[in-house]
Chain A
Amino acid sequence: AQSVSQHNHHVILSEAASLELGCNYSYGGTVNLFWYVQYPGQHLQLLLKYFSGDPLVKGIKGFEAEFIKSKFSFNLRKPSVQWSDTAEYFCAAPAGNKLTFGGGTRVLVKP
């Protein structure tokens, strides 16, 4: 069965710092991968997704993620964070018609 792991539970940054969040998945077949974001008090929303083609995926709000098949990884990056990026970030992968989520990473951006 597909499993997803996220390396960091909590990350604290200052504004303008670069962000990279790790995500590893277990299944080696055809892969679709997602990053969702949950801003404080809000519901989860899609940040970006990979399902084929260019392994470097651009998402909303300046985020990007790189799919590296040989490393089973789909790390999320942002070159310069803002206070408004404070949120919890979830990596997810499909398992049949369901989604498997990683444990989430809470990101706090200090102004």
Chain B
Amino acid sequence: NAGVTQTPKFRILKIGQSMTLQCTQDMNHNYMYWYRQDPGMGLKLIYYSVGAGITDKGEVPNGYNVSRSTTEDFPLRLELAAPSQTSVYFCASTNRGRASDEQFFGPGTRLTVL
């Protein structure tokens, strides 16, 4: 199992550009999550999905969009990149979303918006 994979690893965007961060998991997990990590702020939830076709907003969804057309993939879209979106982005998944379930994380995408 590759687990949770993310592409790209690094990206530099200009203000106003758009891009899609890819996330794929091969564990047949139902629940998938996107977080952003900023220094001293921990991880903040952007969007999550409880299954194919179902997505919901997290704590900091503004400026982002997601889709979940398959169980495996959960891409995150930035439509008009802004400097405030400079961050490290992590995708995670878990099987049943129970309170005691461990989340499995991808390696992250470091995004810089200039």
Contacts and interface: CB of A to CB of B under 8 A. Distances in A.
The reply to whether chain A is a binding partner of chain B is yes
Nearest to B45: A98
Interface stretch (A11-19, A44-52, A66-74, A79-87): A44-52
Contacts, number: 55
Given A94-B99, A98-B48, 17 more contacts: A4-B42, A30-B99, A43-B106, A43-B107, A44-B43, A45-B105, A46-B102, A46-B103, A49-B102, A51-B99, A51-B100, A90-B43, A97-B50, A98-B33, A98-B58, A99-B43, A103-B40
Contacts of A101: 35, 42-44
Contacts of A25: none
B16 interface: no
Interface residues of B, number: 25
Nearest to B58: A98
Interface of B: 4, 31, 33, 35, 40-45, 48, 50, 58, 90, 92, 97-100, 102-103, 105-108
A103 B103 contact: no
A34 B105 CA distance: 14
B24 to A, nearest CB: 14
